[in-house]
Amino acid sequence: MSTTPLPPLADVLATARVVALPLAAPFRGIRTREAVVFEGPQGWTEFSPFTEYADVEAATWLAGALDFGWEPAPPARRDAIPVNATVPAVAASDVPRILARYDGCRTAKVKVAEAGQTLADDVARVRAVREAMGPEGRVRIDANAAWNVDEAERAVHALCEFDLEYVEQPCAEIDELVQLRERIAYLDILIAADESVRKAADPLLVARAGAADLLVIKAQPLGGVHAAIDIVGRAGLPAVVSSALDTSIGLSMGVALAAALPQLDFDCGLGTASLFIEDVVASPLVARGGLMSLERPRPSSADLDRVAADDERRDWWLARLRRCYDLLEVTRG
């Protein structure tokens, strides 16, 4: 984690607003996405670790928010970012409605292995996505570490007919990813690591173990744009920049990361503002023609009032921010 001095907590709290954004469809069991947004010298930034994460993990997200708000962004190498559509674990019949929210995206990431659902549900959903995307579209799946090795192998065999680009985090453990990669090597389907990077004590271990073909990188959970760029460089693997269901402010952090990477071979998972019914700005950061521009959203007071969380949730989030700030102070001495 960075040793750069923290900005005063009072400066962070001075503009902090807690927001609650309703979703068009449940995502990872979430129907409303909450976040804290605040303004630093470089612009608006976001602190939004998922509510179940402990403070130690959430503190890294705060480091990422502070980095984006107080440190200049690295130079951009491209002026637009190709992004994928994201399809939650909805019924197959709902797939066209979800994909219609994304303008011109040539790639779709499909959530699978949802609790309470079956492999047959996944097959139906992925089939519906492939039919909607056509033979030229790219389809990737994300299991969020829900399968063991045998379950993952069975699922990949059941889904490989849909010409998968890659399978994201099929298993939780690195040794499981190694085993699965060996078992399905003949299928020529790549394995991507997400949780094995952003939730690991050592984010480079998955690369050293040969457990994945590419990394899914998220700026805020890895401590910020600069920290994420360093991890990608040291890992030596291709990277897909993705979001953690961020508001448009948080998405702009991911866009800055994607724009700065030396190499960007895959469409990025930064189009998730299309899943929101409301956002923190009147013009959300969404794909147009499958691309996102390098914007830095600036919400108005009216925008933030419109999506403000209630008092109880506001107090919960601000108390969490203070605890995480205290942890960062200890870490940085």
Catalytic residues: 111, 218
Kindly tell me the burial class for residue 80, based on how many C-beta atoms sit within 10 Å of its own C-beta (0-12, 13-18, 19 or more). middle
Locate 24 and state its tokens.
Answer: 């068009």
- In 41-115, which residue ranges form alpha helices assigned H by DSSP? 55-70, 95-99
The answer to whether 39 is a known ligand-binding residue is no
Which residue, 55, 62, 46, 52, is CA-closest to 30? 52
What does the DSSP assignment read for 137-194? SEEEEE-TT-B-HHHHHHHHHHHGGG-EEEEE--BSSHHHHHHHHHHTGGGT-EEEES
Q: At what angle do helices 225-235 and 248-260 cross, to 10 degrees?
A: 40
Q: Would you state the torsion angle of the CA atoms of residues 215, 26, 80, 47, taken in this order, to the nearest 10 degrees?
A: -80
**Is 121 known as a binding-site position?**
no
Closest among 77, 34, 57 to 316, alpha carbons compared:
34
Residue showing tokens 């939650």: 88
* Secondary structure class of 41 (helix, strand, coil): coil
8 A C-beta contact, residue 38 and residue 259: no
Q: At what angle do helices 174-183 and 149-159 cross, to 10 degrees?
A: 40
Task: Name the amino acid, one letter, at 269.
Answer: G
Give the residue from 208, 153, 219, 155 showing the smallest Cα distance to 186. 153
Q: Which residue has 């600069």 as its token pair?
A: 226
- Tell me if 142 is assigned to a ligand binding site: yes
Q: Could you tell me which residues are annotated as the binding site for Mg(2+)?
A: 142, 168, 194
